[in-house]
Structure 1
């Protein structure tokens, strides 16, 4: 099967967009990995991020056909606020107790909130894609793949950096999440 020039252009554009959206998942992954996640938690979180990177753009594409200008900025602000909250919670927990557990982020609720907050920019991208005649399965597949893969790579890197940083790994991870959240807010 041969692609036409517009199809190649759309494929390259979607790959670049999925990679760019995955960079937030990578940053989140570094922060979470510094908490010392076990391999099972790493895979579960990567999966949650990948799933949210499919569901959020799908919701955005669906809603974007009607209300593109109304919700885009609000989604980014909510995501930034959630990341600041999660990062602040990690930072406070690390300062309060030296051996703080990873339960707050690796519980089902923590995974949902973390993956949701980092996927809100995918919702905004979905609004834009909903206005265009985009190949929806291709776009969603690429966004889910890149989001999950880059989140997982970030967690592996964060796990390495966290062991290198010692007791300050969780505090550093929380600081990274807060900075990522501030990036959304500003």
Structure 2
């Protein structure tokens, strides 16, 4: 592969990764509105980056199998997970003093990362069919989504200080809106 070919493929993958990472960015803004420590922000971004590495890798591996059927399934599962997380966040904002059902740690972090990385699985299916360079693809997807997540969580953390108690409702509303967007594309 020549340098211009590599640069062209890298640019194409970067743009795709940026588009996929914008889901994580937008949702990270909402998630950043709950009180998170810097250590949590680091692990959330790292986990989402890892999921955006693994999911397209799995997708590329299965690229020639069931691409159309899995693509819509992944979108619906991701939308349902985001709806659930958004409703849970809004509900928990009115129940101060009670533990929220899903937090961005442990299993809750896995659910969050899975919900924002399912679309990269679908893209991986398509890229597998077209013969994209696997290692380059998954590294670019993982790195871009990780950095975008860190940026959004830090921005959300700043906004949280300005909004106070309403920040969790706003964050849940953002997650809910993205879940609806995935389930009802318009």
Shift of 1:103: 7.5
| 1:49-68 equivalent positions in 2, closer than 5 A | 49-68=48-67
Tell me how far apart the structure 1 counterparts of residues 44 and 146 of structure 2 sit (CA, whole Å): 8
After superposition, the CA RMSD in angstroms is 1.6
Shift of 1:8: 2.5
1:28 alignment partner in structure 2: 27
Tell me how far apart the structure 1 counterparts of residues 156 and 14 of structure 2 sit (CA, whole Å): 24
Moved beyond 6 Å, runs of 4+: none
Q: Give the TM-score normalised by the residue count of structure 2.
A: 0.94
1:143 alignment partner in structure 2: 141
Q: Which has the larger helix fraction?
A: 1
Superposed CA offset, 1:109-146 (max 9, x none): 00000000000110110011010121111110000001
Q: Give the TM-score normalised by the residue count of structure 1.
A: 0.94
Tell me how far apart the structure 1 counterparts of residues 101 and 177 of structure 2 sit (CA, whole Å): 22
1:127 alignment partner in structure 2: 125
**Number of positions where the alignment pairs a residue of Structure 1 with one of Structure 2:** 184
Shift of 1:148: 0.8
2:42 alignment partner in structure 1: 43
Structure 1 spans left out of the alignment, 5+ residues: none
| 1:84-103 equivalent positions in 2, closer than 5 A | 84-97=83-96
